[in-house]
Amino acid sequence: MASIRDYNVAEQLSSKLEEIRTKLLDQAMGEVLNGRVTELCQEHRRYMNSVLGTCFKKCKEDETIFDMIKTYKEDLKEKTSLQKEKSAEHLEVVSEIEDKEHHKALLFQRIEKLKKDQAKNRELIQSQNKANKDRLKKLNKCKDIFQKPLSLEIKKIEGEKLQFVFRNISHKDPDMAHTFLLQLDAEDVYHIISSDPPLEKISHLERRLQETNNFSAFLANIRREFVALHSGAKTA
């Protein structure tokens, strides 16, 4: 058996012990490294899970925000459309109100014009009534003057028309009526509507009456023409 004091044996033992020590160190370091790596991997896995959870939550929040933005845009679009419709309706109402105001102003103008026209018509009617009363007085005066001498009768018929009836024209039939129909227009102009029997100079007599307004002479001339029809005389 070799002595442990032998240099080679000591060297071999020392080398063997170093080899064992190195192996044990390597084994120990491997276990330590494996444990640290495992721990690091777990920490990394936990971190990644946390990051993924955070990202997933953030994505959900972003999706919710995007949905809200989309909803707000659609709501804004709808409100804008409604606002445009309301604006159009408002303009239409304003235009309708303006039309009514304009129509109201026109109505007031027409009412004022009608009032003025009514006042003028009232004045005209009053004036015509006064003129009619004056003419009636003249006719009554003529009637009083000529009724007995000329056997004249005056009748009011058909509104503003007057019928003049002469008698004692024909010697054969004193009661025979000779008539003519007279009318006064809105401009106070006399018009002979008809005569019975017809007179040849009726237009001439009408024109003379319009020119002279001498009603007494007109009645005398009319009677003279009726008398001439029976006597056969020619009057100037």
What is the pTM (predicted TM-score) of this model? 0.42
My answer on whether 157 and 199 are in the same domain is yes
- 211 and 153: one domain? yes
Higher per-residue confidence, 211 vs 58: 211
Q: Which of 23-32, 74-83, 225-234 has the highest mean pLDDT?
A: 74-83
Is pLDDT of 144 > 70? no
Same domain? For 151 and 218 the reply is yes
CA 225, 230, 231, 234 dihedral sign is positive
Rounded percentage of the chain residues whose pLDDT exceeds 70: 83
Residue 140 lies in a domain: no
Last residue of a domain, one of 70, 100, 135: 135
CATH number at residue 215: 3.30.457.50
Predicted pLDDT at 165 = 93
**Mean pLDDT over residues 62-89, rounded?**
85
Domain that holds residue 122: 78-135
Looking at the fold, whether 100 and 160 belong to one and the same domain comes out as no
Inside any domain, residue 28:
no
Residue 90 forms part of a structural domain: yes
Task: Calculate the average pLDDT of the chain.
Answer: 81
- Number of compact structural domains in the chain: 2
